[in-house]
């Protein structure tokens, strides 16, 4: 079809001529398709995907408002992108400032500082144009925004980072509000037909940012591991899920579907949990140490055809003995441990830019007949965030142990389903003097 046939005959001749020219420039690829090699139009990286340095909680970050409450000029705003192409890069930031207030800023791209000023327009956003720089090397780059305005005054409410130029060809940013690093897992195959009465695993934290949960012993009904809650508090956590399909509120779970507490150890808090399924939660506040091996054991004892008691034991590094975290009677089960795995989770998005790394080793299972079997193989998996949004997720071998790593915007990644095998230790747990439990 001739392009003129696409235009209504009622259009004036000058307008028809202009539209025909635009259609010709567009070509067969669609209206106004850029020519091959031309710079793409500016891409927008929302402020709610950025991170705050050095204080992750130094301002408010939300999807509807971007970054607000920025009053400390010492606070920096960082975006991380994987640039697959070198070349020129034009950078701007869209923000809001009070009417007629001048803001001065520095944007550092791959080590190149760019400075610019802008005058505020109240609730209407304004754009700080930093100009052009050149990325000479592809790869992961941090883009850092700083305020050069005096302390105590509003530094601006940030809406988005705007980038254009040849360097944005095939660039990858996480554009979703979830800033958490992808959760990563080790899945342990067990011999078919084995009744697993106990699962033993050792963990050594290599990196320990706040909002990290390193889980040693996971199975189809619960999880057991160690957590960094804040700069001053760490926990050992053991939880068991209820039966049923309630995802959020335990008050909706029938009594016949609830796990019930059998016993808990000295100093352990126990209660309910929700919002990730529901169940019974327990934790011991204890300052476990990064770089030191931590030991975990989960046991299963079927009570009858429909109930199993699951118990979590932790080897206390100072007391040099096994202590009970808690024990729970689980309904609608009546079986053994299955679906064994370990994982590492970043449960708070404000620290999603930091590296988490843990070594997991010397995994063993005990059969219902009392025999110990060493687990030397594991496969890698990750949560939906790891599919395309956050590719900085890894599994491998280090010092004869598996490791999991995620966060840090590190280049490369492990493949979903990739299998690793560690060398056997032959060192089955032999010091299992466990506290006695009451009858369930």
Contact 408, 355 (CB under 8 A): yes
Mean pLDDT of all residues in 97-105? 95
What is the predicted pLDDT for the residue at 334?
86
pLDDT of residue 40: 53
Nearest residue to 199 (alpha-carbon basis) of 212, 186, 210, 208: 186
Q: Is the pLDDT of residue 286 over 90?
A: yes
First to last CA, the chain: 81
Alpha carbons within 13 A on the beta-carbon side of 56: 15
Tens of pLDDT, residues 261-282 = 999 999 999 999 998 899 999 9
Residue 433 reports pLDDT greater than 50: yes
Residue 439 has pLDDT above 60, yes or no: yes
Do 334 and 301 contact (CB within 8 A), yes or no? no
The pLDDT of residue 32: 28
Question: What is the per-residue pLDDT for 440?
Answer: 78
pLDDT at 33 over 70: no
Burial class (CB in 10 A: 0-12, 13-18, 19+), 249: exposed
pLDDT of residue 252: 93
Cα-Cα-Cα-Cα dihedral sign, residues 11, 12, 15, 16: positive
Q: How many other β-carbons are positioned within 10 Å of the β-carbon of residue 287?
A: 10
- Give the pLDDT confidence score for residue 152 in this predicted structure: 79
Higher pLDDT, 359 or 33: 359
Q: What CATH class is the domain 184-421?
A: mainly beta
Q: What is the CA radius of gyration of the chain?
A: 28
φ, ψ (nearest 5 deg) of residue 417: 85, 0
C-beta separation of 367 from 196 below 8 A = yes
What pLDDT is stored for residue 13 in this prediction?
A: 38
Higher-pLDDT residue of 6 and 271 is 271
Which residues are within 8 A (CB) of 119 and not within 5 positions of it... i.e. 6 or more apart? 97, 100, 101, 102, 103, 126
For 188, which DSSP code? -
Percent of the chain with pLDDT over 70: 91
- What is the pLDDT at residue 438? 87
3-class state of residue 243 by DSSP: coil
d(C-alpha 430, C-alpha 312), whole Å: 17
CA distances from 413 to 218, 368, 421 (A): 23, 38, 18
Annotated domain spans of the chain: 43-168, 184-421
Cα–Cα distance between 273 and 123 in angstroms, integer?
Answer: 41
Judge contact between 402 and 420, C-beta under 8 A. Answer: yes
**What pLDDT score was predicted for residue 151?**
87
Q: What is the pLDDT of residue 109?
A: 94
| CATH assignment of 43-168, among 1.10.645.10, 2.60.120.260, 3.40.50.300, 3.40.250.10 | 2.60.120.260
Q: In the block, which residue shows the tokens 């965030």?
A: 385
Count how many residues are written for the chain.
440
Band (pLDDT 50/70/90 cuts) for residue 42 is confident
Rounded to an integer, the average pLDDT of 372-400 is 97
Has residue 8 got a pLDDT over 70? no
Sign of the Cα torsion 147, 149, 150, 151 reads: negative
Residue holding tokens 């400032």?
97
**Residue 214: phi, psi to the nearest 5?**
-100, 110
Cα–Cα distance measured from residue 113 to residue 124, given in angstroms and rounded to the nearest whole number: 27
Which residue in this structure is represented by tokens 């106004």? 32
Mean residue pLDDT of the chain comes to 90
Rounded Cα gap, residues 401 and 195, in angstroms:
25
Say how many CA atoms lie within 13 Å of 346 toward its Cβ. Answer: 31
pLDDT at 289: 98
Q: Which two tokens stand for residue 1?
A: 């079809």
Instruction: Please state, in angstroms and as integers, the Cα–Cα distance from residue 26 to each residue in 5, 23, 30, 60, following that order.
Output: 16, 5, 6, 43
Query: Rounded to an integer, what distance in angstroms lies between the CA atom of residue 348 and that of residue 426?
Result: 38
Q: Which residue has the higher pLDDT, 42 or 365?
A: 365
Measured in whole angstroms, how far is the alpha carbon of residue 388 from the centre of its chain?
13
Q: Confidence band (pLDDT; 50, 70, 90) for 407?
A: very high
CA 1 to chain centre: 52
Task: Answer yes or no: is pLDDT of 124 > 70.
Answer: yes
Q: How far is CA 2 from CA 20, 28, 60, 68, in A?
A: 10, 12, 55, 53
Q: Tell me the per-residue pLDDT of 316-348, one tens digit each, with 9 for 90 and over.
A: 999 999 999 999 999 999 899 999 999 999 999
Model confidence, pTM: 0.87
Measured between alpha carbons, how far is 425 from 391 in angstroms, rounded to an integer? 32
Q: Diameter of the chain by CA atoms?
A: 94
What's the pLDDT score for residue 6? 33
**Average pLDDT for 301-310:** 95
Equal CATH topology for 43-168 and 184-421: yes
Please say if the pLDDT value at position 24 is more than 80. no
Task: Give the separation between CA 354 and CA 375, rounded to whole angstroms.
Answer: 30
Closest to 284 in 3D by CA, of 294, 304, 269: 269
């Amino acid at each position: 079809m001739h392009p003129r046939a696409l235009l209504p005959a009622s259009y004036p001749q000058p307008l028809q001529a202009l539209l025909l020219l635009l259609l010709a420039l567009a070509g067969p690829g669609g209206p106004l398709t850029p020519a091959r090699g031309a710079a793409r139009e500016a891409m927008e990286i929302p402020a709610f995907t950025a991170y705050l340095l050095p204080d992750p909680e130094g301002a408010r970050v939300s999807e509807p408002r971007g970054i607000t409450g920025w009053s400390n000029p010492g606070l920096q705003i960082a975006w991380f992108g994987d640039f697959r192409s070198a070349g020129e890069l034009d950078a701007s930031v869209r923000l809001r400032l009070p009417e007629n207030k001048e803001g001065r800023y520095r944007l550092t791209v791959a080590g190149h500082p760019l400075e610019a000023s802008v005058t505020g327009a109240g609730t209407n956003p304004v754009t700080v144009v930093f100009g052009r720089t050149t990325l000479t090397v592809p790869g992961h780059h941090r883009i850092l925004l700083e305020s050069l305005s005096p302390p105590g005054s509003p530094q601006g409410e940030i809406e988005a980072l705007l980038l254009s130029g040849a360097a944005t060809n095939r660039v990858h940013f996480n554009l979703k509000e979830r800033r958490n690093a992808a959760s990563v897992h080790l899945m342990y195959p067990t011999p078919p037909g084995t009744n697993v009465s106990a699962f033993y695993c050792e963990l050594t934290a290599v990196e320990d940012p706040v909002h990290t949960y390193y889980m040693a012993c996971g199975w189809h009904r619960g999880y057991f591991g160690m957590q960094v809650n804040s700069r001053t508090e760490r926990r050992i956590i053991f939880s068991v899920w209820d039966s049923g399909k309630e995802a959020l509120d335990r008050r909706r779970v029938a009594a016949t579907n609830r796990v019930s507490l059998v016993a808990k150890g000295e100093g352990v808090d126990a209660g309910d949990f929700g919002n990730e399924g529901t169940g019974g939660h327990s934790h011991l506040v204890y300052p476990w140490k990064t770089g030191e091996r931590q030991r975990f054991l989960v046991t299963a004892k079927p009570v009858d055809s429909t109930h199993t008691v699951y118990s979590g034991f932790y080897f206390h590094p100072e007391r040099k003995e096994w202590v009970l975290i808690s024990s729970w009677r689980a309904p609608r089960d009546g079986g053994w441990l299955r679906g064994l795995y370990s994982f590492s989770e970043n449960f708070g998005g404000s620290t999603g830019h930091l590296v988490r790394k843990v070594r997991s080793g010397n995994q063993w299972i005990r059969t219902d007949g009392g025999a110990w079997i060493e687990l030397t193989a594991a496969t890698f998996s990750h949560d939906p965030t790891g599919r395309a949004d956050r590719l900085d997720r890894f599994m491998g071998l280090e010092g004869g142990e598996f490791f999991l790593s995620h966060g840090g915007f590190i280049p490369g990644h492990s493949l979903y389903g990739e299998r690793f095998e560690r060398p056997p230790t032959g060192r089955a747990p032999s010091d299992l003097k466990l506290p006695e439990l009451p009858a369930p």
